[in-house]
């Protein structure tokens, strides 16, 4: 009898090992599929950038030719008698123009009124819109065809008043390699340093994660159970976390605050899974939002956390536009402006978890100008981007500003840079 029991126990152990091997095989299969989808998204992103670059070059050539033609038409309309007499006399002086150029300079059958103002061709202020044909081999559930790029709701523009700080001077030192300060109402750039470089946004990514989640979620008091796979993922990648435990059931509202205040990857991934069913599907929503904001030429995200990926990138100007869109949403603004938040009690955390946004608290502690106040912020760090942050500040006269910096040598340097930029150029 004991031998039979031992045999049954051995069979149970073997069965357990088989089930464990099956589970590992399924995990490896999912990882391979995820890697294939990542490579496909990377290929599409590179294709989009190449097409955008080509279209930009073509637009420049077209505009140059158009300007040349307009100039020739203007010159011809100013001296009609001279041109007619020269033509009638058989052109006393040989023309130096090529036949093609002469054809291009011929006026239209119905000449334009020379006193009427000319209308310049419509040219996008940033990058031309580009539509990518859907890939027939792509998985439609994970890689939906990108929507047509819409007219941006908010654009960042340089003006004659924009201050460029390409290098540090004795009078002004900035540790961040990339920086921009934008007027949140007009989009005018106040200060610029390397604003067109594409960089890894690190955890600043979660500003867009928050915005997209809020736009797709209705029931903030609904709950979601944190999966063990999510906590394991955060541990393997050394992500910052809110502190939720595997199998802990938390409210959607707590996930929103957990995503931003402590920069919790556990909260960000769980938000994505709750809202879209998977992180991959949610990332699709994020890139649709990027397109709707008119940023597809330089911005593309591959995850909701901000982990480094060569195809997960944007410019500091792009991040300023995303922050502006988030601060225009009342719930997002409430979360981004919160200094602390205590989550609801759970079985694993009977007193909840106290979450804090130390970045905001440290900046406002260093403001010496009483007219300035900080109302939103999100930090980030990966090796490739250094310490970075995006913040939103207000002045007592109602002016609002957005500051984005990247590639600082430390988290405190980011705080010093944001404080210095606001107090030097926005006071």
Is the model more confident about 378 or about 53? 378
Determine the 3-state secondary structure of 25 from DSSP: helix
Mean pLDDT for the chain overall = 80
**Which whole-number Å values give the CA distances from 417 to 92, 177, 328, 384, in the listed order?**
69, 11, 25, 19
Nearest to 396 by CA among 363, 427, 372, 364: 372
Residue 238 has pLDDT above 80, yes or no: yes
CB-neighbour burial class of residue 319 (10 A; exposed 0-12, middle 13-18, buried 19+):
buried
Q: What is the pLDDT of residue 50?
A: 66
* Helix, strand counts (H, E) of the chain: 12, 10
Residue 233 has pLDDT above 70, yes or no: yes
**Residue 355 in contact with residue 341, Cβ under 8 Å?**
yes
* pLDDT tens-digit map of 317-374: 999 999 999 999 999 999 999 999 999 999 999 999 999 999 999 998 998 888 999 9
List, in sequence order, every beta strand (DSSP E) within 42-108.
none
Q: What is the pLDDT of residue 127?
A: 42
What tokens does 136 get? 């027939």
The 178-183 sheet, strands edge to edge: 163-164, 189-193, 178-183, 400-408, 386-395, 372-382
Domain with CATH 3.40.710.10 in the chain: 163-425
**Which whole-number Å values give the CA distances from 287 to 117, 131, 280, 295, in the listed order?**
40, 14, 11, 9
DSSP class of residue 194? S
Nearest to 211 by CA among 331, 337, 377, 316: 331
Residue 133 has pLDDT above 70, yes or no: no
Q: Longest C-alpha distance within the chain, in Å?
A: 124
**Would strands 163-164 and 189-193 be described as parallel, antiparallel, or unpaired?**
parallel
Residue 182 has pLDDT above 80, yes or no: yes
Residue 163 has pLDDT above 60, yes or no: yes
Side-chain half-sphere CA neighbours of 356 within 13 A: 5
* pLDDT tens-digit map of 18-49: 777 776 777 677 777 767 776 776 677 767 76
Q: Which alpha helices (H) appear in 79-146, and where do they start and end?
A: 80-88, 99-105
Contacts of 295 (CB under 8 A, 6+ apart): 152, 314, 318, 321, 322
Q: What is the pLDDT of residue 141?
A: 44
What tokens does 345 get? 């009690």
171 band by pLDDT with thresholds 50, 70 and 90: confident
Measured between its terminal Cα atoms, the distance across the chain in Å is: 87
Contacts of 49 (CB under 8 A, 6+ apart): 297
291 band by pLDDT with thresholds 50, 70 and 90: very high
* pLDDT tens-digit map of 94-126: 334 444 443 444 344 444 444 444 343 343 444
pTM: 0.67
83-92, 240-249, 364-373: which has the minimum mean pLDDT? 83-92
Q: What is the pLDDT of residue 354?
A: 97
**Residue 297 in contact with residue 49, Cβ under 8 Å?**
yes
What tokens does 22 get? 């099956």
Dist. CA 292–CA 278, nearest whole Å: 21
Question: What CATH fold (topology level) applies to the domain 163-425?
Answer: Beta-lactamase (3.40.710)
Q: Which alpha helices (H) appear in 79-163, and where do they start and end?
A: 80-88, 99-105
Dist. CA 41–CA 170, nearest whole Å: 45
Q: What is the pLDDT of residue 346?
A: 96
Q: What is the mean pLDDT of residues 376-399?
A: 95
């Amino acid at each position: 009898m004991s031998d039979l029991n031992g045999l049954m126990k051995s069979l149970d152990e073997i069965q357990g090992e088989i089930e464990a091997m099956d589970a590992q095989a399924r995990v490896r299969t999912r990882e391979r599929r995820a890697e294939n989808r990542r490579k496909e998204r990377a290929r599409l992103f590179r294709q989009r950038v190449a097409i955008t670059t080509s279209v930009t070059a073509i637009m420049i050539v077209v505009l140059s030719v158009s300007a040349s033609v307009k100039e020739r038409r203007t010159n011809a309309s100013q001296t009609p008698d001279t041109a007619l007499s020269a033509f009638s006399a058989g052109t006393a002086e040989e023309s130096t123009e090529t036949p093609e150029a002469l054809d291009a300079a011929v006026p239209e059958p119905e000449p334009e009124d020379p006193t009427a103002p000319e209308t310049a061709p419509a040219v996008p202020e940033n990058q031309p819109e580009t539509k990518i044909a859907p890939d027939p081999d792509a998985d439609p559930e994970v890689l939906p065809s990108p929507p047509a790029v819409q007219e941006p709701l908010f654009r960042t523009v340089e003006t004659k008043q924009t201050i460029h700080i390409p290098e540090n001077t004795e009078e002004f030192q900035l540790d961040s390699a990339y920086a921009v300060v934008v007027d949140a109402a007009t989009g005018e750039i106040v200060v610029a340093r390397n604003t067109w470089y594409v960089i890894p946004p690190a955890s600043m990514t979660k500003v867009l994660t928050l915005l997209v989640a809020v736009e797709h979620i209705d029931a903030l008091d609904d709950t979601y159970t944190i999966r063990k796979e999510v906590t394991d993922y955060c541990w393997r990648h050394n992500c910052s976390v809110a502190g939720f435990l595997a199998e802990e059931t938390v409210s959607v509202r707590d996930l929103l605050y957990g995503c931003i205040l402590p920069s919790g990857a556990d909260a960000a991934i769980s938000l994505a899974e709750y809202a879209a069913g998977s992180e991959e599907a949610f990332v699709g929503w994020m890139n649709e939002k990027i397109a709707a904001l008119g940023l597809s030429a330089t911005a593309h995200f591959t995850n909701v956390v901000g982990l480094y990926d060569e195809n997960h990138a944007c410019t500091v100007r792009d991040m300023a536009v995303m922050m502006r869109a988030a601060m225009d949403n009342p719930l997002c603004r409430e979360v981004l402006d919160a200094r602390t938040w205590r989550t609801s009690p759970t079985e694993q955390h009977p007193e909840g978890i106290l979450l804090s946004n130390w970045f905001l608290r440290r900046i406002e502690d260093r403001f010496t100008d009483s007219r300035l106040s900080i109302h939103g912020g999100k930090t980030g760090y990966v090796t490739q981007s250094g310490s970075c942050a995006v913040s939103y500040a207000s002045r007592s006269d109602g002016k609002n500003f957005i500051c984005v910096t990247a590639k600082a040598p430390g988290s405190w340097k980011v705080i010093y840079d944001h404080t210095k930029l606001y107090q030097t150029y926005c006071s």
